[in-house]
Amino acid sequence: MDAPGSTLVLYRTTRNAPVLTNLAAAAVGGGALHAHGPALHGCDGAEAAETVTMLAQQRGVTAMIWDGDAPTDLAGVHRLAKEAEASLVVVEWQPAVRGGDALARDVLADPPCDVLLVRPGEIADIREIIVAVGPGPNAPLLARLARSWAAAFGVPAKTLHRVASDDDVAEGRALCKRLAPELEAIVEVGRDLTNLLAECAARTGFVALGATEHVAMDRVAARTASGQLATRAGATVVVGRTAT
C-alpha cells in the first residue's frame, strides 16, 4: 500500500488562514499539511503561521511551515507539489483580482495532483456544506470531502444536483446516492445553475463544485457558474479538479 500523500496549501492572504487551514486539514489523508505562500511571511506572517499550526494540531494534523519564496507560476507549484509528495494542492483563489487569477487558472488547467481552488469567506458564515455534483470526473473528489468538511466546521452537509425536467429526478437522486450515500440529496429541476448556486451560497455560506475544464480560468469570472459565484457571493466557494 502506498503511503498517504500530503496536502500542500498556498496561503496568499493572512486573514484567510483559518478557513483554508480548517478546510485543508479536513482533506488530509494521513500525511502532513505543507503550508506555503506570501501570507506566512512579512509583518503578519508569524501570526498566520502560528494560526495554521494551532488549527492543524486541533484536527490531529502535522503542519509544516515552509520558508522561502512562494511559487508564482505553474512550474513552481508543480515543483513544490513534487517535493512535498502532495496528493492534494489547495490554492487560495482570488477571482476578483484585475485580469483574473493567473496562477489559479494555470494550476486548474494543468494540475500536479488533485486541486482545490478556495475563495474563502468567513468561518462564522458557514452554516451548511453544499456540494454540487454531476456525472463529470470531479464530483467523486468533492463528494468524498463533503463529510470531512462538515465535521471540520461542525455543520451538516448535503449534495446538490440540477436536472432539466421532472423525468430526470430519479436518475439525479441515484447519482447523489452513489457519490455520497450518507448525505441528504437536493435535486432541483430546471434552475439556472449560477442563480441556484448563488442562492445556496447566500443561504449556507459554503458551496463546492467541480471545475469547468473547457473554459479558460482567466475568463471564469465572466463565463462559468463557479467564477460568477465566487465574485458575487460572500460565501466560501471551492472549485475542485481531480488529476486522474
Q: What is the pLDDT of residues 228-240, one digit of tens each?
A: 666 666 789 899 9
> How far is the CA of 186 from the CAs of 3, 130, 201, in angstroms?
36, 9, 14
For residue 215, what pLDDT is reported? 35
> Which residue ranges does the chain devote to CATH 3.40.50.620?
6-92, 123-241
pLDDT tens digit sequence for 91-115 = 998 876 666 688 988 998 899 999 9
C-alpha cell at 186: 437536493
Mean pLDDT of the chain: 85
Strand positions, DSSP E, the chain: 6-10, 33-36, 63-65, 86-92, 114-119, 129-132, 157-163, 184-189, 206-210, 236-241
Of the options 3.40.1390.10, 2.30.30.90, 3.40.50.620, 1.10.357.10, the CATH number for the domain spanning 6-92: 3.40.50.620
Q: How far apart are CA 133 and CA 108, in angstroms?
A: 18
Average pLDDT over residues 104-129: 92
Q: Please tell me the CATH code under which domain 123-241 is placed.
A: 3.40.50.620
Cell numbers linked to 150: 462538515
45-58 vs 17-27: helix crossing angle, rounded to 10:
30
